[in-house]
Amino acid sequence: MTEPSGQPTSSGRGPAQGDAGLLDVVGVGSALVDLLVQATDTDLARLKLPKGSMSLVDLERAESIHAGVHASAEVSGGSAANTMVGVASLGGRAGFIGKVIDDRLGRVFTTEIRASGVTFEPIGGEESTEGIGTGRCLVLVTGDAERTMATYLGAATTVVPSEVPLDLVGRSKVVYLEGYLWDLPPTIEAMRRAIEAGHDANASVALSLSDPFCVDRHQREFLDLLREDIDVLFGNEEELIALFSARSFDAAIEAAEETGILVAATRGAKGSVVTTPHGPVAVEAVPVDRVLDTTGAGDLYAAGFLYGLTHGADPARCAALGGLCAAEIIGHLGARPEGDLRVLAGAARLL
């Protein structure tokens, strides 16, 4: 496994656009704009959306769902993009690779991610003449803070290997991939190109399992990736049990250890477990006054973990930093941090 390392950056959010220096993490994922909705279980049943899952929908279905609810906010999202914003908020140097169209949502996404300090090289260009637009995700949040997502990926489905900016990948210590992209046959080869370019540049490659349903669909492919291509794996309890066909969480952790890679497993209020050379280590969750929305909790956990990993922290400290970032995100609507994560981490003496 490649050992990412580096010195902490000065305070402030990420590199300026066009800065050609080394980056801590480059994320590859779907560039989406989130439409946040307060919903009830009755709404989910009416819309035929499985609670707690991410469902891929076409543009017509996305517009139909949107018409049936009231969106309370519109913010940029996308799993890997959220993680990169978290890394930048901690003071890290992050880049993002994703495809947008030059439409209203594409411009919203580009403006917001760059304003957060993330180096963004959008793939795409002119407004589509074929009815394909920038992706969007309807995030329906119920009263128990559970989120259910209906995602129209739009332009994200059209990424091809030749569009992956190898120069940006080659500047990273860690290349971070979101598992959702394996739902899109055209993008699988693009992800493999990013993996190859990362390894060629001596970068580590990290994968987020993204969703239990995604794991069910791609279990064999993900296991193959662990054997040959992945250095760091992120997943929650349900995802890891599904990945390893385990009967319990403990059994899933045992299977994870056998892979020999660094695995970070999140367990909600139970905290997280990370594999180390000396065995698995459990890290307690950071207490929160109120859980309002779990959207992005895993994404921000990965942000804290990856920031720690690229700045010399041991796995347990990486997990603690990830837990702190996740705790910030679940206290408000939306998957992007509202507080300054670097200030929070400094106060917790995790930097």
For the cut 80, the answer to whether the pLDDT of residue 130 exceeds it is no
> Six-digit token pair at 134?
């920038």
How much is the average pLDDT of 118-135?
74
For the cut 50, the answer to whether the pLDDT of residue 116 exceeds it is yes
pLDDT, one tens digit per residue, over 143-174 is 898 889 898 989 988 888 999 999 999 999 99
Q: How confident is the model at residue 103 (pLDDT cuts 50, 70, 90)?
A: confident
pLDDT at 132: 84
For the cut 90, the answer to whether the pLDDT of residue 185 exceeds it is no
CATH topology of domain 23-30+78-131+154-347: UDP-N-acetylmuramoyl-L-alanine:D-glutamate ligase (3.40.1190)
pLDDT at 53: 85
Closest CA to 79 of 268, 276, 236: 236
pLDDT at 125: 56
For the cut 90, the answer to whether the pLDDT of residue 5 exceeds it is no
Cα 181 to Cα 187: distance, rounded to the nearest angstrom:
6
Its sign, for the CA torsion 225, 226, 229, 232, is positive
Most confident of 82-86, 289-293, 330-334: 82-86
Q: Where are the domains of the chain?
A: 23-30+78-131+154-347
For the cut 80, the answer to whether the pLDDT of residue 9 exceeds it is no
How much is the average pLDDT of 324-330?
96
Cβ proximity of 234 and 272 under 8 Å: no
Cα 309 to Cα 312: distance, rounded to the nearest angstrom:
6
143 φ, ψ (degrees, to nearest 5):
-65, -20
pLDDT at 126: 54
Q: How confident is the model at residue 8 (pLDDT cuts 50, 70, 90)?
A: very low
pLDDT, one tens digit per residue, over 233-274 is 999 999 999 999 999 999 999 999 999 999 999 999 999 999
Cβ proximity of 290 and 279 under 8 Å: no
For the cut 80, the answer to whether the pLDDT of residue 78 exceeds it is yes
Query: How many Cβ atoms sit within 10 Å of the Cβ of residue 199?
Result: 17
Q: Is residue 216 within a helix (H) or strand (E), and if so which, with residue range? A: helix 212-228
Q: Is residue 61 classed as helix, strand or coil in its secondary structure?
A: helix
Per mean pLDDT, which range of 7-11, 42-46, 302-306 is the poorest? 7-11
How much is the average pLDDT of 34-44?
89
How is 107-140 classified by DSSP, letter by letter?
Answer: HHHHHHHHHTT-EE--EEESPPSSS--EEEEEEE
